[in-house]
Amino acid sequence: MVLFLAARFAWTVVLFLVITLFTFVVFFVVPQPQVRAPGRGGNTDPIDIRDSIALHGSLPSQYVQFVWNFVTDGSLGRSYYNRQEVSDIVRRAAPITISVVAGGVVFWLLLAIPIGVLSALRPRSLLDRSAMVFVLIGVSAHPAWLGLVLGHIFGYRLQWLPFSGYCEMFSPTTICGGPAQWAWHLILPWFTFAFLYAALYARMIRASVIETMEEDYVRTARAKGSGEAQVLRGHVFRNSMLPIVTMLGMDLGTALGGVIFIESVFNLPGLGGILRSAITQRDLPVVLGVVTYTTVAILMLNLIVDILYAILDPRVRLRTGMRTSGRTRTRGAGSASAPAPAPATPTG
């Protein structure tokens, strides 16, 4: 397990350096259009993004300063327009975006898992066919359109849920605050997120459960006299969730991109709204900060998903250990090659 974690962490560091290098080239090497920021007395002064972040010297030296400043104190300069620290701007908006994405993930899994499992246990049933319609609507709908439709029905017509606004969960600065009001104002954004992804995940879970139920170790468990509930709980569910964990790690990055539309529809002051305003105003330090912080968040989420995958499937850790020991034996035996490891038995 230690070797697996070390390998995954090292790969995350490599990806971080590659992505930050690409970001540095785009923002600091490629020529940027001249930006004029508000100055004293109502004048507009031309400004360079290097001056905002205080990068000097050669390009390699500037890249090292850029990475070092971000890693040590999260500094990415100041906004052109309000002169606030970019890290402070991102820190205030990030909890809102995290709330929307995290709640949306919980909602879509709570919808997708029971629908997918029941569809797999009763294929070609009315539930299975209805789930297919659910999938087609969820995959085809745009987040902005779906948010407007749900907001119009449940927020404007029926007035069951608040259509817009955000309430602080802790230390509220307005009358609207506290965990109950926080969750109440996020139900529509969460359900919009859930509708978009739950449909796709329901079909994925259905296909994965059906495939797992046809494996030899499931037939063996049934032949040994295990009950159907025990087979489903101990063999089918755990192994069929492995592809879902992998897809969840990849879709979290897509969800962070799609949250821009949902925050715009429901007027949430998250990273999506900040990025949209910064692009409109050509506030490059803020754009750079949102892109960099979001990239780091996606890398950390994928690292967490890799760790969860290794916990669910010990064969992942086993393969990492065998590759490491195989390279060690090859170096010690000179030109003799180590025998290939036997395939691992599926977990049950």
Let me know if residue 72 belongs to a domain. yes
Give the pLDDT of residue 269: 85
Let me know if residue 191 belongs to a domain. yes
Are both 5 and 100 inside the same structural domain?
no
Are both 110 and 74 inside the same structural domain?
no
Are both 207 and 119 inside the same structural domain?
yes
d(CA 41, CA 286) in angstroms, rounded, equals 24
Work out the mean pLDDT of the chain and round it to a whole number. Answer: 77
Global pTM reads: 0.75
Are both 126 and 223 inside the same structural domain?
yes
Q: Does residue 333 carry a pLDDT above 50?
A: no
Are both 159 and 185 inside the same structural domain?
yes
Are both 221 and 183 inside the same structural domain?
yes
Let me know if residue 187 belongs to a domain. yes
Q: Is the dihedral of CA 78, 83, 87, 90 positive or negative?
A: negative
Are both 214 and 303 inside the same structural domain?
no
Are both 132 and 243 inside the same structural domain?
yes
Are both 5 and 106 inside the same structural domain?
no
- In terms of Cα–Cα distance, which of 315, 298, 295, 324 is closest to 26? 295
Let me know if residue 343 belongs to a domain. no
| 85-99, 160-174, 222-236, range with greatest mean pLDDT | 85-99
Measured at the CA of 138, the angle between CA 132 and CA 141, to 5 degrees, comes to: 135
Question: Angle formed by the axes of helices 242-265 and 179-213, to 10°?
Answer: 150
Q: Does residue 298 carry a pLDDT above 50?
A: yes
- In terms of Cα–Cα distance, which of 207, 210, 208, 163 is closest to 186? 163
Give the pLDDT of residue 263: 85
Are both 219 and 288 inside the same structural domain?
no
Out of 236, 266, 296, a domain closes at: 266
Are both 120 and 189 inside the same structural domain?
yes
Give the pLDDT of residue 62: 86
Let me know if residue 146 belongs to a domain. yes
Let me know if residue 303 belongs to a domain. yes
CB atoms within 10 A of CB 212: 22
Let me know if residue 271 belongs to a domain. no
Let me know if residue 15 belongs to a domain. yes
Q: Are 55 and 66 in contact (CB under 8 A)?
A: yes
DSSP type of residue 177: B
- In terms of Cα–Cα distance, which of 23, 49, 24 is closest to 35? 49
* Segment 107-132, tens digit of pLDDT: 888 888 888 888 888 877 787 777 77
| Residue 23 Cα distances to 94, 288, 289, angstroms | 20, 8, 10
* Segment 175-201, tens digit of pLDDT: 677 788 888 888 999 988 888 788 788
Range in 166-170, 298-302, 315-319 the model is least confident about: 315-319
Q: What is the distance of C-alpha 209 from the center of its chain?
A: 24
CATH number of the domain bearing residue 226: 1.10.3720.10
Are both 247 and 127 inside the same structural domain?
yes
* Segment 232-248, tens digit of pLDDT: 777 777 777 777 777 77
Q: What is the distance of C-alpha 264 from the center of its chain?
A: 19
Measured at the CA of 324, the angle between CA 320 and CA 327, to 5 degrees, comes to: 140
d(CA 32, CA 47) in angstroms, rounded, equals 11
Number of domains in the chain: 2
> Domain range spanning residue 40?
1-80+282-329
